[in-house]
């Protein structure tokens, strides 16, 4: 996800999106995952020179990535979407009043896991499949993918606020999916979220996706297992709790009652009371399609003296 914290910082992206042709290029890449310049030119009925100019602007803005590969007809430039979500904060005023931390998915502080379950680093499986004992293995801090059928993962989020600062909004961004034996693209699972033990709502993952290889998966990861998830953005502020901009509950920061001395925990869970209890998978930066860890972002206000 590309997050534009203030309008001025997003000027290059806005300029790139001002062309209908460039919008069509993004749509084609979203539908096809990757296309070379000749493919794009043919689908849009444009010359290679024209398509090159548009693609260059999209690359400069950070919306797409271009890699070079050798094909049957020589060197080809392959285009990919860099991210598949764009968030613009139109109301941001004090853009300096925030901090963000990336937490590896294996750095959980508490857990409960029921099989099918497991975890892996970018180099190998940790322990054995479906054995929850390995969730306590010291190597788990290097885990880049974790899956479980029922249970939770809880993370401690650093609270860096000072006495004259108050929480305005907390955000969490992560790549999530369900957990099926092997994989199953149609496998809905209700994944619940908690801040300091307060349930803020849930999201129903549509499946445990494996129809295509995850962009960042290591070469050794087997093709018959899950490959990628969906990038989700959770926000809690003084108005309520949201996921990808949609309200999921009326729980507000005021109900969680945070201040600069508060401990801050974030829990992801598949609970016993879930209607669709089909597990969860969380992907770190070396697995899945998004190349990121669990991101926590805190926006805050400064009290006037």
CATH class of 93-302: mainly beta
For the entire predicted model, the pTM comes to 0.76
Q: DSSP for 47-59, please give it.
A: -HHHHHHHHHHHH
Is residue 77 very low, low, confident or very high in pLDDT (cuts 50, 70, 90)? Answer: confident
Give the DSSP H/E element, type plus range, for residue 233.
strand 230-237
What is the pLDDT, as a whole number, of residue 91?
Answer: 60
Q: What is the Cα–Cα distance from 48 to 39, expressed in whole angstroms?
A: 10
CB 198 within 8 A of CB 241: no
**Which is nearest to 153 in space by CA: 139, 132, 122?**
132
Check residue 170 and report its DSSP letter: E
Residue 262, token pair as written in the block: 């508060």
**Bridge-based pairing state of the strands 280-283 and 165-177:** antiparallel
Which CATH entry fits the domain spanning 2-81: 3.50.50.60, 1.10.10.10, 1.10.3720.10, 1.10.630.10?
1.10.10.10
User: Per residue in 237-267, pLDDT tens?
Assistant: 999 999 998 999 999 999 999 999 999 999 9
Cβ neighbors of 160 (< 8 A, separation 6 or more) are: 99, 298
Q: What is the Cα–Cα distance from 58 to 43, expressed in whole angstroms?
A: 17
Check residue 1 and report its DSSP letter: -
Average pLDDT of the residues of the chain: 92
User: Per residue in 174-225, pLDDT tens?
Assistant: 999 999 999 999 999 999 999 999 999 999 999 999 988 998 999 999 999 9
Q: Taking residues 73-88, what's their average pLDDT?
A: 80
Q: Where are the domains of the chain?
A: 2-81, 93-302
User: Helix, strand or coil for residue 179?
Assistant: coil
**Which is nearest to 257 in space by CA: 171, 202, 197, 172?**
197
What percent of the chain is modeled with pLDDT above 70?
Answer: 94
Residue 295 has pLDDT above 70, yes or no: yes
Q: What is the Cα–Cα distance from 189 to 202, expressed in whole angstroms?
A: 10
Is residue 70 very low, low, confident or very high in pLDDT (cuts 50, 70, 90)? Answer: confident
CB 113 within 8 A of CB 135: yes
Check residue 125 and report its DSSP letter: B
């Amino acid at each position: 996800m590309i997050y534009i914290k203030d309008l001025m910082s997003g000027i290059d992206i806005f300029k790139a999106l001002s062309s209908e042709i460039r919008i069509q290029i993004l749509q084609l890449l979203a539908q096809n995952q990757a296309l070379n310049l000749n493919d794009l030119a043919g689908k849009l009925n444009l010359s290679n020179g024209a398509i090159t100019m548009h693609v260059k602007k999209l690359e400069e803005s950070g919306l797409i990535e271009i890699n070079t590969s050798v094909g049957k007809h020589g060197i080809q430039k392959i285009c990919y979407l860099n991210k598949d979500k764009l968030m613009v904060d139109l109301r941001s005023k004090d853009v300096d009043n925030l901090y963000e931390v990336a937490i590896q998915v294996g750095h959980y502080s508490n857990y409960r896991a029921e099989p099918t379950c497991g975890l892996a680093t970018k180099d190998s499986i940790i322990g054995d499949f479906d054995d929850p004992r390995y969730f306590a293995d010291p190597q788990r801090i290097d885990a880049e993918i974790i899956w479980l059928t029922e249970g939770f993962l809880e993370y401690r989020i650093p609270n860096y606020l000072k006495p004259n600062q108050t929480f305005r909004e907390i955000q969490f961004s992560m790549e999530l999916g369900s957990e099926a034996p092997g994989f199953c693209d149609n496998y809905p699972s209700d994944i619940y979220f908690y801040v300091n033990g307060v349930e803020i709502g849930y999201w129903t993952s549509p499946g445990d996706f494996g129809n295509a290889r995850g962009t960042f998966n290591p070469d050794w990861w087997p093709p018959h297992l899950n490959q990628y998830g969906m990038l989700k953005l959770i926000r809690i502020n003084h108005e309520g709790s949201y996921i990808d901009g949609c309200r999921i509950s009326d729980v507000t920061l005021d109900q969680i009652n945070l201040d600069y001395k508060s401990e801050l925990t974030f829990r992801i869970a598949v609970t016993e009371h879930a209607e669709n209890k089909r597990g969860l998978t969380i992907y770190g930066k070396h697995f899945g399609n998004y190349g990121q860890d669990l991101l926590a972002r805190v926006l805050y206000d400064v009290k006037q003296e």
